[in-house]
Structure 1
Amino acid sequence: MQRIGMVIGLNADKVAEYKKLHAHAWPEVLAMIKACNIQNYTIFLREPENLLFSYYEYTGTDYEADMAKMAADPKTQEWWSVCMPCQKPLDTAKEGDWWTEMEDVFHLD
């Protein structure tokens, strides 16, 4: 199992919209997440800084292939099209990054 942590900014004027979207996440998108071997997926929000932190566990054997499968899914693309305007990459994000991966420095089972 691989643990993944990522961070991104959230536009201040989109906080309520983002919360509402995720309170009613689309079943097709949730099914695709599971089909791509992701479990224990959680998104945390830190206000007033408006930082989103996501955590999930990847249980598959080919992360890149599963992420490509998810990215190719039309319903997931539609979901991203409504969520992405709410988000903003960190100023320190690498070129082409949206969510910025974080280093796993400690874990206790």
Structure 2
Amino acid sequence: MEQDKISAFRMQLKPGNEVEYKKRHDEIWPELVQLLKDAGIKEYYIFLDEVTLALFAFQKLGSNDQTAGLASLPIMKKWWDYMADLMEVNADNSPQTVSCPEVFRL
């Protein structure tokens, strides 16, 4: 049986946006949820370090992983624009991310 691929990365929330960030994710657009699932994301978690405001994201990806193509899709760009005021972003409003390599698995 093929093991799921794991992706983990860190992002940075701007101070004072903790409540709004959670609210927007609690109300995530259904079409974005479907897009992420269609791209092969089986599970997606985001955790907040309340001291540093670092966001730690963890994705479990299926064998049909198509996540590399998400950045070019209009709904993804629309979400990034919607979230840009809350977090550190690149020039295209995509979140600034730092990959977190796996060092242990139980």
How far apart are residue 40 of structure 1 and its match?
Answer: 1.2
How far apart are residue 106 of structure 1 and its match?
Answer: 0.7
The answer to whether the 8 Å contact 1:36/1:60 transfers is no
Which runs of 5 or more structure 1 residues have no equivalent in the other structure?
90-96
2:98 is aligned, of 100, 103, 106, to: 100
Q: Identity of paired residues, percent?
A: 26
The answer to whether the 8 Å contact 2:8/2:56 transfers is yes
Displaced runs of 4 or more, over 2 A: none
| 2:86 is aligned with 1:86 | yes
Q: TM-score, normalized by length of structure 1? A: 0.80
What are the within-5 Å matches in structure 2 for residues 5-84 of structure 1?
5-60=8-63, 66-68=67-69, 70-84=70-84
Q: Which residue of 2 aligns with 1:93?
A: none
Letter in 2 for 1:79: W
- Structure 1 residues 4 and 66, CA, compared in 2 at 3 Å: closer, same or farther? closer
Q: TM-score, normalized by length of structure 2? A: 0.82
CA RMSD in angstroms, aligned pairs only: 2.0
Task: Figure out how many residues of one structure are paired with residues of the other and give that number.
Answer: 99
The structure richer in helix per residue is 1
**1:33-91 deviations in Å (ceiling 9; x for gaps):** 00111111000111021110000011135x5x5322x22221221111111321126xx
